Amino acid sequence: MKEVFERAAKRVEERGDEFVSRANALRAASAHWLRHTAGSNMAGAEVDLRFVRDNLGHESITTTSLYLHGDDDERHKATERGHRIAWS
Position 85 confidence tier, pLDDT thresholds 50, 70, 90: low
**Residues 23-41 pLDDT 10s:** 999 999 999 999 989 998 9
The secondary structure of the chain in percent helix, strand, coil, rounded to multiples of 5, reads 75, 0, 25
Position 68 scores a pLDDT of 80
List of residues 6+ apart from 40 with CB closer than 8 A: 67, 69
Instruction: Report the 10 Å Cβ neighbour count for 7.
Output: 11
Domain ranges of the chain: 2-82
Q: In the predicted model, what is the mean pLDDT of the chain? A: 87
**pLDDT higher at 14 or 68:** 14
* Residue 44 to residue 28: CA distance in whole angstroms: 23
pLDDT reading at 78 higher than 90: no
**Quick check: helix, strand or coil at residue 12?**
helix
DSSP 66: G
